[in-house]
């Protein structure tokens, strides 16, 4: 399955660590949505979207990218890193994918070092994340959804 991952990873590049590890272990095209504006995803069978979490959601610019550039009827999956684990981080991204009649293969999220906003004053949270184990779990997650 021809696969791409489109990501935005700011601040500490936590999400990029997951994406880079998946790409190193698999044949995957990787696109940084913050740097590449003219990405054509129509030739990919499977598309992953990866983001750090800000205010409880994927980066707004990645959600806008999905609205404008995600082709209909694709297999999609989601990756994210966050300062605190909670449910619902992928809800807006899932809604975009469902509105485009895409099949959602799954999601993987883990902690990521977070110093956004007032957290900077206390030295941040989730220091040392993602761990090597969490990164390996992300690769295993990807392998499991691609083998289906």
pLDDT in tens, 115-146: 566 666 666 655 777 899 999 999 999 999 98
pLDDT at 83 over 80: no
Which is it for the CA torsion 15, 18, 23, 29, positive or negative?
Answer: negative
Measured CA to CA, the distance from residue 69 to residue 113 in angstroms comes to 29
Helix, strand or coil, per DSSP, at residue 76: strand
pLDDT attached to residue 94? 98
Residues belonging to the chain: 148
Structure tokens at 139: 């690769």
Question: How many structural domains does the chain have?
Answer: 1
Q: Which domain holds residue 135?
A: 3-146
User: Can you give the CATH number for the domain in which 99 is found?
Assistant: 3.40.50.360
- Per the model's pLDDT, the better-predicted residue between 85 and 83 turns out to be 85
C-alpha atoms less than 13 angstroms from C-alpha of 38 in its C-beta half-sphere: 0
Strands 57-58 and 75-82: unpaired
User: pLDDT tens digit string along 32-64?
Assistant: 998 887 899 999 999 999 999 988 899 999 999
Q: Let me know: does 80 contact 111? Beta carbons within 8 Å.
A: no
Predicted pLDDT of residue 9: 86
Torsion, Cα 47 50 54 60, to 10 degrees, reads -30
């Amino acid at each position: 399955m021809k696969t791409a991952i489109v990501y935005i990873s700011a601040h500490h590049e936590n999400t990029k660590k997951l994406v880079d590890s998946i790409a190193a272990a698999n044949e995957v095209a990787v696109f940084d949505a913050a740097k590449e504006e003219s990405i054509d995803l129509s030739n990919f069978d499977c598309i992953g979207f990866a983001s750090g979490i800000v205010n409880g959601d994927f980066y707004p610019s990645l959600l806008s990218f999905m609205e404008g550039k995600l082709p209909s009827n694709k297999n999609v999956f989601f990756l994210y890193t966050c300062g605190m684990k909670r449910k619902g981080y992928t809800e807006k991204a899932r809604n975009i994918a469902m509105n485009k009649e895409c099949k959602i293969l799954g999601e993987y999220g883990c902690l990521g070092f977070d110093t956004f906003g007032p957290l900077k004053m206390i030295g941040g949270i989730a220091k040392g994340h993602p761990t090597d184990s969490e990164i390996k779990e992300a690769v295993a997650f990807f392998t499991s959804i691609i083998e289906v």
